[in-house]
Amino acid sequence: MPSNILRLTLAILSVAVGAQRLPAAEPTPADSAAAEQKTTSSDQRFDLTAQVPSGALAQVTASLQAGGDLIVADDKGAEQRLPMSVTGELAYAEQIVHWSPAADERAVALRRYKTAEATLKTDQQGARRTLADDARDLTAVLAGEQFLINTAGEADPLTREQLDLINVIGNSLALDRLLPGRELAVGDSWEHDAAAIAALLGLDHAGVCDVTSEVTGVEKSQVQLRMAGMVRGTIDGAATEIDVRAAYLFHQKHGRITKFNLAVKEQRKRGEIGPGLDVTAKLTLVVHPAAADQAPFDAEAVTAAADVDVEQLSRLFVDASQRGYRFTHGHGWFVTANQPERLSLRLLQSGELLAHCNVTTLPVRSAENAATLKEFEKDVKQSLGENIESIAASEEWTTIAGHRCLGVFANGKVDEVPVQWRYYLISGDGLPQASIAVTVEQDRLEEFADADRVLIDSLELSAPTPRTAAKP
Residue-level pLDDT at 467: 58
Tell me if 332 sits within 8 A of 348, measured CB to CB: yes
Q: Are the CB atoms for 250 and 225 separated by under 8 Å?
A: yes
Which positions ≥6 away from 8 have C-beta within 8 Å?
A: 70, 273, 274, 275, 277
Rg of the chain in Å (alpha carbons): 25
Query: Please, what CATH class does the domain formed by 3-311 belong to?
Result: mainly beta
Number of H helices and E strands in the chain, helices first, is 10, 24
For the chain, the structural domain boundaries read 3-311, 315-461
Distance CA 378, CA 124 (A): 47
pLDDT, one tens digit per residue, over 384-402 is 999 999 999 999 999 999 9
**381 in Cβ contact with 396 (< 8 Å):** no
Asked if residue 68 lies in contact with residue 84, where contact means CB atoms within 8 angstroms, the answer is yes
The candidate with the shortest Cα–Cα distance to 9, out of 117, 126, 90, 91, is 126
Low pLDDT (below 70) residues in the chain: 1-42, 466-472
Contact 365, 434 (CB under 8 A): no
pLDDT tens for 195-229 read 999 999 999 999 999 999 999 999 999 999 999 99
In CATH, what class is 315-461?
alpha beta
Q: What is the 3-state secondary structure (H, E, C) of 387-416?
A: HEEEEEEEEEEECCCCCEEEEEEEEEEECC
Cα–Cα distance for residue pair 286/312, rounded to 1 Å: 30
Compute the CA torsion angle 421, 422, 427, 432 (nearest 10 deg).
-50
Each residue of 109-144: b (16+ CB within 10 Å) or e? bbbebeebebebbbeeeeeebebeeebbbbbbbbbb
| pTM for the whole structure | 0.86
* Confidence at residue 165, expressed as pLDDT on a 0 to 100 scale: 93
